[in-house]
Structure 1
């Protein structure tokens, strides 16, 4: 018939799938449309057999999505049944199996890595910088890396959707920033701007990260990275992906934005498969912490300041040697004969003293030294005050939507215009501590406020653990501190939260003269 010979006739009967044809049906292989054997023959075309496995190869993600939906429906019904039939205190054991995602192989060669480059679990993310869904699940990705330090790493695949007009250009700009070792900082800054991409957004973002503007502009207009972005896009389409975000945990497919618990379930399954106890600290993390046990040096050196950068070559320490005027030293640079600066670790430096590693502690009182410039962690006490402004019983703030990096040289130039920047703050209607909250007006296109992720009519609430209002605005002193800065604000009636870190020498260098 129609040149195809005998054709299978498929009928839907009472919601079940029946198969009728002129050949003998393999009842063990197909029972009411449910495939029990992947090698079962689904059809014979011109004498050639087509197996269920061949069909499922291209349908594996769709079939898993259906299996997940079935599992969710069954789980919801099970919870209803438990609620209706069980008394309080009754032991309940849920045995409903979780469907296992299909696994694929991906190449991570020449991709920027966040976290331990040799981590046993790779979280590969297919996303578009223009997607609000990709933007909203960034805090979950950061939480995964924070909860499993050393065990998990993140890599990025670009999948700009067809209707994302700025998707390709945004992805290209991030890769261009990566040429100057600022891929992840730029990545975070772009998501903070989403959906307000395009125009001058890319060059402004590059500026506040102290990226070479001339090279960056030329790179963005070039074709090499555009071709790589489109290659990623084609890879996603060949896999059958249609929307973002899509995450592959060691190749295990998970579609759509999910909770931290859903991702961590599969991370821990992968770690268990490798006989790894995720509660045990990875050597990558241990090596960072083990330096705290190094002996304190007795050499005539005084560490007056630290400026750490994610770009190791830009990390420097302000050191006074044998009572002489302090100056900055780069990693590897000699301090004394046979004594050199090895690394910077937050509140101390590691020095190599004739082959022995020793600690050089940071000197001076708080506020009278060059501040740390790359710490992303608050103390536990400060973090609690920030996240629970109304006390322990109060509601906890949402997780930060992004951690944005600000170049010190750029920040220094911006703060020279502090008076005009302050003029952008006006009184809002709500009051706190007897003062009006303050709202931003006329900041659209303003380089400083755009870099900080602010928009017109945003109402500032708190900077770190202090309220912001017409009586006090701690934003300026927080930026001058050089430490991690936590800002909470309201936008269109919804709470938002961002963090900033300040990198590279320039701004605080002047304070030490």
Structure 2
């Protein structure tokens, strides 16, 4: 049966047998052909090409309604994000197959004594080009500089574990790109997220006091505790007016804004969360900072702007002088830890020169590509330096050398932990509760696990404790460190740490290490 016969029969059916029968017969027409040449057509788009005259020649027409033509372009425009999802899935399959193929070929070479190992591997497979979506102007709050060249638009839900795990990656992007990026958040609670809507409304209530970002961080610190009691606890820590905030959450005051976000998501064809747009470029699903960084870097290059340097260098300090040739910068080699002073035009490495020195960053010319290094305190991005990691009992190191080695290795791993939860705490609230620290300490009990001869401490029966619940801690948590000092049966530095302006807790929860960062406010 020829395709033109199908077209004529289709038109006949529309007139004679009705839409119901057409719905039944069309699949049979399209898949029931046994001719080999016709089978090849099934691998192509199911477009119906009609004799439309020279003016329509080349158009990919998929349907005709009387004299109205419906093109593939018109159809694709409505489902462009879903089509990209298919292309992305194909890319992931190819990438996995490529990785497996490369691994097999390298192993074969290594097993053959007559063949040398490959000296150069170049990956030419690239991800598909993401579609760019026009997002309407919005009066939403912006996190970061309003004038940032890269605008991130995030659709997420507060009850989504994927969105919660995305938060450390977003903080890494903020640290990596600085004032080059900003973020606008859109609420898209999923239909099966029972508490997502109320949590979103609570965060918008906090917006009235310009506290939405701190409130959001607290919500994501524990997505399993989304309830009215916790909304009020977070509001209290941020110093929000209790009466107006309670009124706002009880009336679900921002339902109209939540509806508007959901309607926008539907118009865009969004489904699951998270979805992040990079200057309108669509990126699907949760990704790493490096994954999002690929799209951000492509946008910076398109705009003629420098990208973050991938060289193993850190910017330690800058000194701006006049004339500018007298300005200098101190760079640290992250491999050797050596610090070297450089001036304008100095060669740093092969085909890498120092192009510009600014107060907060330097620009490098890396083989024709402009790159930047930001001035930042690298220790703020990690838990601690190696020298500051104190063991709970130094005198036991000689008695338990293997345990000492194990604890040092653990300390090194802790340094690399991303922040699981980031919260603000009221200094007044803390001081009130710390007056009862003897009672609070009764919830700590020694565990069977030892490190360097001393028992670590586990929290028990704290599920009804406002103090521990506010900190985001749970029964069964093993508190490993407080501000880089070990917590154990011989000493509990938690109470002294909570008196500081910045507190970092390292916690082991169900076998997984977690990091909690707090800042106190008056």
State the TM-score, normalized to the length of structure 2.
Answer: 0.71
Over 3 Å counting, the alpha-carbon distance change for 1:84 and 1:490 in structure 2 is closer
Tell whether the 8 Å contact from 1:203 to 1:213 is kept in structure 2 after alignment. Answer: yes
What's 1:188 paired with? Answer: 217
Tell whether the 8 Å contact from 1:174 to 1:183 is kept in structure 2 after alignment. Answer: yes
Counterpart pick for 2:235 among 184, 200, 206: 206
Counterpart pick for 2:384 among 372, 378, 382: 382
1:394-473 to structure 2, matched below 5 A, reads 394-396=412-414, 397-473=416-492
What's 1:76 paired with? Answer: 96
How many residues align structurally?
406
Over 3 Å counting, the alpha-carbon distance change for 1:381 and 1:222 in structure 2 is closer
Query: Would you tell me which structure has more helix in proportion to its own residues?
Result: 2
**Displacement of 1:44:** 1.3
Measure, in 2, the Cα distance between the counterparts of 1:189 and 1:224: 20
Over 3 Å counting, the alpha-carbon distance change for 1:427 and 1:85 in structure 2 is closer
What's 2:14 paired with? Answer: 3
- For residue 462 of structure 1, give the secondary structure of its aligned residue in structure 2: strand
Over 3 Å counting, the alpha-carbon distance change for 1:106 and 1:291 in structure 2 is farther
Tell whether the 8 Å contact from 2:443 to 2:462 is kept in structure 1 after alignment. Answer: yes
1:164-175 to structure 2, matched below 5 A, reads 164-175=193-204
Larger radius of gyration: 2
Measure, in 1, the Cα distance between the counterparts of 2:420 and 2:193: 21
**Displacement of 1:11:** 3.0
Over 3 Å counting, the alpha-carbon distance change for 1:220 and 1:54 in structure 2 is same
* Structure 1: tracts of 5 or more residues without a match: 31-36, 281-285, 294-374, 505-513
- For residue 516 of structure 2, give the secondary structure of its aligned residue in structure 1: strand
Measure, in 2, the Cα distance between the counterparts of 1:208 and 1:108: 33
Tell whether the 8 Å contact from 2:389 to 2:411 is kept in structure 1 after alignment. Answer: no
Tell whether the 8 Å contact from 1:438 to 1:468 is kept in structure 2 after alignment. Answer: yes
- For residue 153 of structure 1, give the secondary structure of its aligned residue in structure 2: strand
Higher RCO (CA-CA < 8 Å; seq separation 6+): 1
Measure, in 1, the Cα distance between the counterparts of 2:66 and 2:436: 78
Measured against aligned partners, the alpha-carbon deviations of 1:166-191 in whole angstroms (never above 9, x if no partner) come to 11110111111121121111101011
1:243-322 to structure 2, matched below 5 A, reads 243-279=272-308
What's 1:496 paired with? Answer: 514
**Displacement of 1:452:** 1.0
Counterpart pick for 2:77 among 9, 33, 57: 57
Over 3 Å counting, the alpha-carbon distance change for 1:47 and 1:130 in structure 2 is same
Measure, in 1, the Cα distance between the counterparts of 2:435 and 2:411: 41
Measure, in 2, the Cα distance between the counterparts of 1:108 and 1:442: 49
Measure, in 1, the Cα distance between the counterparts of 2:257 and 2:167: 23
Tell whether the 8 Å contact from 1:131 to 1:195 is kept in structure 2 after alignment. Answer: no
**Displacement of 1:89:** 2.2
- For residue 390 of structure 1, give the secondary structure of its aligned residue in structure 2: helix
Over 3 Å counting, the alpha-carbon distance change for 1:103 and 1:4 in structure 2 is farther
**Displacement of 1:46:** 1.8
Measure, in 1, the Cα distance between the counterparts of 2:61 and 2:123: 35
**Displacement of 1:431:** 1.5
1:76-155 to structure 2, matched below 5 A, reads 76-85=96-105, 87=109, 88-107=117-136, 109-155=138-184
What's 1:45 paired with? Answer: 65
* Structure 2: tracts of 5 or more residues without a match: 1-11, 33-38, 110-116, 310-314, 322-376, 391-405
What's 1:230 paired with? Answer: 259
RMSD, aligned CA: 3.2
Over 3 Å counting, the alpha-carbon distance change for 1:42 and 1:422 in structure 2 is same
Mean CA deviation greater in 106-115 or 447-456: 106-115
Measured against aligned partners, the alpha-carbon deviations of 1:138-158 in whole angstroms (never above 9, x if no partner) come to 100100010001101111110
State the TM-score, normalized to the length of structure 1.
Answer: 0.72
What's 1:299 paired with? Answer: none
What's 1:342 paired with? Answer: none
Tell whether the 8 Å contact from 2:47 to 2:63 is kept in structure 1 after alignment. Answer: no
- For residue 89 of structure 1, give the secondary structure of its aligned residue in structure 2: coil
**Displacement of 1:401:** 1.1
- For residue 101 of structure 1, give the secondary structure of its aligned residue in structure 2: coil
Measured against aligned partners, the alpha-carbon deviations of 1:375-420 in whole angstroms (never above 9, x if no partner) come to 9963979345569962599435421112211122222222222222
Measure, in 2, the Cα distance between the counterparts of 1:195 and 1:292: 49
Measure, in 2, the Cα distance between the counterparts of 1:25 and 1:239: 32
What's 2:401 paired with? Answer: none
**Displacement of 1:463:** 1.4
**Displacement of 1:22:** 8.3
